[in-house]
A and B are shown apart, each in its own frame.
Chain A
């Protein structure tokens, strides 16, 4: 037990500091990817609902492909493919040399693009659940589109999307572990390093499981609170 405390501790031979930092990295890359995914998701949801034939087909193609191939492949593709693309484009525009994409940026982008496909479905579902009557009521009192969008649609969609977004966040959190293959020192990568140097994989992988689990539970709590606050004044609708 004492041994474990030294191993996990913050002393000179302990891995506590490094693991804590890595946990911060996990949270940051997951959060950036999630926000990016929200932007992509809402654009794609809009394309699916309001776009013309071509735009809608492209949006459907995007969600189908992204949900049909392993996330590990998408991450590899972003990590290696991203630089190749930017570099060729950059060269042609006169930038000299290569354009590198740091592991953090390519990881967050990969998570964004993957989770965007799920968030698109969440937003689309939420938008479709906004009651037609409210929109008609808004129009009949003379609200214009922009105002109606801001006052009626966005608040309602956000409220209705909350449970779905909570699920996607959990997904994103777990997905961030896959970013370890690109060398970004997040929680799992740091656990590999610690396991390899100490020969104690069991302890370190269990510890990282526990950390992921704690983050997952706390975020569920937070999402529940936010959801409850947003739903004030609304009876639970089925």
Chain B
């Protein structure tokens, strides 16, 4: 991009000469645009043309607290971080987990939910007997996690697994099950659900809360969770608001609002409404 930047620089010099130059300070935030996928129930989804979900209610609450006017833009998950970095949106609230890899390019707020990730399968399929059912495996403790993953490998060998493109689940398969399973990447999780129920793939890896909710839909009646739940490591610290690294002030505003929402029980009500349990995370002031 050097040549492009040099053109921009030349334009900038002219701009400065004309007296239009300004320092690129962070602006005073009065309104922000939030990017979300809009097809990841119960986190965010569209119903009758209206956006709903835990993140929509949460955004409304924290924006009120931070005195921000917030609007949503719906777009595919794999384009959210590029869209944030090019300035199409100011924040991401889309069940996006704060991982070390993503933290290289964007900043994250306090996490607001950690349900973990797990396998989704079809009832009666060969993977129903996947070991460690319901057990929580923390990938931060990689040594003991690897032992268990070895056992999973035997059960998963040669299977086809669907994940959302650019998701933590795609990174997980790439890191731990490469060469063992055949990976298919989808734009939207609803698309891998369709393929799971059509029998094109043997399993999906997705958010635990997502699979529980998806299984309630008429088309996914035979969907079940299977195997262990994973947290930590490539899965990161749980869903957080994604922000540009340069927007330090905005991050401070939103963190404060999130903590206030956790503290006075508003978040408890929202999470009970969408997840069916109190998902209020551990938080630091």
Contacts and interface: CB of A to CB of B under 8 A. Distances in A.
B122 to A, nearest CB: 13
Contacts of A80: 79, 82-83, 86, 88
Interface residues of A, number: 38
Contacts of B45: 197
A199 B197 contact: yes
Interface in B18-52: 20-22, 24-27, 33, 38-39, 45-49
Secondary structure of the B side of the interface?
A: mixed
B75 interface: yes
A92 B12 CA distance: 5
Interface of B: 5, 8-9, 11-12, 15, 20-22, 24-27, 33, 38-39, 45-49, 73-76, 79, 82-83, 86-90, 187-188, 190-191, 193-194, 197, 217-220
Given A87-B87, A100-B88, A183 B76 contact: yes
B73 A198 contact: no
Given A185-B74, A199-B197, A92 B15 contact: yes
A18 B11 CA distance: 45
A221 interface: no
A87 B86 contact: yes
* Of A88, A89, A91, A102, most B-chain CB atoms within 10 Å: A88
A99 interface: yes
A98 B26 CA distance: 10
A83 B88 contact: yes
Contacts of B217: 197-199
A21 B27 CA distance: 36
Nearest to B20: A94
* Of B25, B82, B87, B190, most A-chain CB atoms within 10 Å: B87
A192 B188 contact: yes
A219 interface: no
Interface string A177-208: 00001110100000011011111110000000
Contacts of A192: 39, 188, 190-191
Secondary structure of the A side of the interface?
A: helix
Given A17-B48, A183-B73, 20 more contacts: A12-B48, A79-B79, A79-B88, A92-B15, A93-B11, A94-B22, A96-B25, A97-B87, A98-B87, A100-B33, A103-B75, A183-B79, A185-B49, A185-B74, A193-B190, A196-B193, A198-B217, A199-B220, A200-B219, A201-B194
Nearest to A21: B49
Interface of A: 12, 17-18, 21, 79-81, 83-84, 87-89, 91-103, 181-183, 185, 192-193, 195-201
A18 B48 contact: yes
Question: Which 10 pairs between the two chains have the least Cβ-Cβ distance?
Answer: A199-B219, A98-B87, A196-B190, A183-B75, A94-B22, A92-B12, A83-B86, A84-B86, A96-B27, A18-B49
B15 A93 contact: yes
A91 to B, nearest CB: 6
